[in-house]
Amino acid sequence: MKTTAQLTFENVRFDDAKDVHLVVSLASPHGNALATRQPVCVIPVLDVSGSMEGPKLHYAKQSILKLVDHLAPGDFCGVVVFSTEVETLAAPAEMTQERKDALKAAIGRLGARRNTNLGGGLLAGLDHAKVTRLPEGMLVRVILFTDGHANEGPAKTPAELRRLLEANLGAATVSAFGYGDDVDHELLRELATLGRGNYASVRSPEDALTAFARELGGLLSTYAQAIEVRVTPREGGALTDVVSDVDAREEAGSAVIRVPDLLADEVRHLVLAARLAPRPVPLDAPVAVADVEVAFERLEDGRLVKERRACKATARFVAAADAQAAPAPDVDAIVAVAQLVRAQIEAEEAARQGRYGEAREVMVLFQHAIADRGHGAVAAAAGKLAGKVGTRDAYEASAAYRSGMRRGSTRDVSSLYDAAADADLRSMGRAGKTAAQDRMEEAFGAPLKMKREGAKRGGIARRRSGRW
C-alpha cells in the first residue's frame, strides 16, 4: 500500500498562522483480474415479506442465484430469510456442487409471506458470521436484500436498527441492496456505511445483476482490511477537524480513523483540517508538520499478514514573497469533494427537520464558494443538490440521487448508483471500477445481453414476417 500525505499549502508564510487541509491517500497495488483469488464467506439475508412480492423478490432471488453460481470451492455461503419469522435457509458451509444445487433449489421455492422482521434477519446473519468456523482471515460479508420497511421484530425504527448493527457487527461487513421505487434509501445507506459495506438501489433485472456483480467483484478484489490511520501533528501544528465522512476519534491530539476495506486498484483519500503555527525565522528546507501511521491486514497465500506504513506531511516556512498564494489545485480538488459531502450532510439534516429554505441555502453558498476555487464539476453537483433539498416534494423524490452522491463522493470505487448521480460522480472523477468488478460484471451481464439480443432478433423476424 502506497501512503502519501499532502498539504493544500506547502509553502507558507513563516510569521503567520496558516489554516490548511491535509490529504492522506491510501493507494493499493494494481490487481490482476485473472489471478487466483482468496476464498470468501457471503451470507445473503433475504426479505420475503409481503411488500417484496412480485418483481422485487424476483430480482433479489436472481441476484442470490447468480452469487451461488459464481462461488468456487473454498468459498462459504449461507442464506437467511425473514418475514414475520426468521429462518436459516442454509447455515454457512463450504460450497460444493451438491450444496450449490440444493441451495439454489431452496431459493427458487421461496415466495412472499407476511411482515418485515428486518432486525431479526440482520441479527441472524451477523450471528452466523460470528459462530461459523472459517479459515483465518476470511472475509465475511452479510448482504441485505430488502426494501427497508421494518415493522416487526427487535428493531423497527432506523435508530433501533443502527444500534442493533453497531452492537453485533463483529468482524463481518454488511452491504445492502434496496429493491423497488418505495425503498428506504437513507436507512439502507446508513446501515451499509455502519457495516463498512456498499449500498445499491435496484429497480430492474439489469440493475440487480450489475449491482451484485460489482459487489462480488469488489469483495473478491479486497486488498486490505482492518485499516486504521493515525494522524499526529508535530509541535507547532494542530488538527482542527476531520472533513471526510469517516469513522474517526480523537486521542491526545491525534486523529484515529477507521477505513473500510481497500480494494485492488483503489485510492482512498482522507481529508483533515489543520492549523500551522508561525515560526520565529524562515526555514528553506521542508519541515515535518504531521506524522501518518497506517496499520492494516491482508491475506497472502491463505495467511493473515499484518503490515504498517508511515509517511510525513511537510511544509516550508518562507518569507511573505515566497508564500503560496492559492491551494495546490490537485490537492484542493480532493478537499472539494470531501467538503461537498459535509455540506450535503448539513443540508439534509436541515431538510429532515422541515427547514428546506435553509437546506437549499447551505448548498447554494457552498456551490458559489467552490466555483470560486475553480472546481466546476463539484459546484455543478452542489447546485443540483440545492434543488433537491429546497422543497419537501423535491427532497422526498430525490432519495436515490442523494444517497448515491453521498456514498459515491466518499469512496471512488463504484457500486450501483442512481443514473444521474453516477453521471455527476464520474464528472468529479469518482465511481470507478476495479478490474475484478469489470470481469464480474461482464460475466453476470452475459446472459441478459444474450437475452436482449435474442429478443431484438425475434422482433426483427416478426416484423419481416408481418406478425409484429
Q: Which residues pair with 268 in a beta bridge?
A: 26
Residue range of the domain that includes 56: 40-220
Over residues 96-114, the pLDDT tens digits come to 999 999 999 999 999 999 9
Whether 310 is in a domain gets the answer yes
Residue 466: is its pLDDT beyond 60? no
| Of 439 and 72, more confident | 72
Residue 32: is its pLDDT beyond 60? no
Over residues 380-433, the pLDDT tens digits come to 999 999 999 999 999 999 988 898 898 888 877 656 667 788 889 989 988 677
Residue 445: is its pLDDT beyond 80? no
Judgement on whether residues 55 and 180 belong to the same structural domain of the protein: yes
Judgement on whether residues 156 and 304 belong to the same structural domain of the protein: no
Judgement on whether residues 386 and 246 belong to the same structural domain of the protein: no
Whether 448 is in a domain gets the answer no
Residue 440: is its pLDDT beyond 80? no
Q: Give the residue from 449, 446, 451 showing the smallest Cα distance to 69.
A: 446
Whether 174 is in a domain gets the answer yes
Judgement on whether residues 102 and 251 belong to the same structural domain of the protein: no
Q: Are 217 and 437 in contact (CB under 8 A)?
A: yes
Residue 465: is its pLDDT beyond 50? no
Task: Return mean pLDDT, the chain.
Answer: 88
Classified as helix, coil or strand, 248 is strand
**Angle between helical axes of 55-70 and 205-220 (0-180°, round to 10):** 30
Q: What is the mean pLDDT of residues 446-455?
A: 45
Q: Which of the 8 DSSP states describes residue 147? A: -
Judgement on whether residues 150 and 17 belong to the same structural domain of the protein: no
Judgement on whether residues 255 and 294 belong to the same structural domain of the protein: yes
Boundary residue ending a domain (327, 350, 375): 327
Q: Maximum distance among all alpha carbons in the chain?
A: 89
Q: Are 221 and 265 in contact (CB under 8 A)?
A: yes
Structural domains in the chain (count): 3
Judgement on whether residues 160 and 182 belong to the same structural domain of the protein: yes
Across 194-203, 246-255, 277-286, 436-445, least confident range: 436-445
**Calpha distance 53→104 (Å, rounded):** 19
Whether 462 is in a domain gets the answer no
| Of 70 and 343, more confident | 343
Q: Which residues contact 359 (CB under 8 A, 6 or more apart)?
A: 347, 348, 350, 351, 389, 390, 395
Whichever domain contains 175, its CATH number is 3.40.50.410
Whether 364 is in a domain gets the answer yes
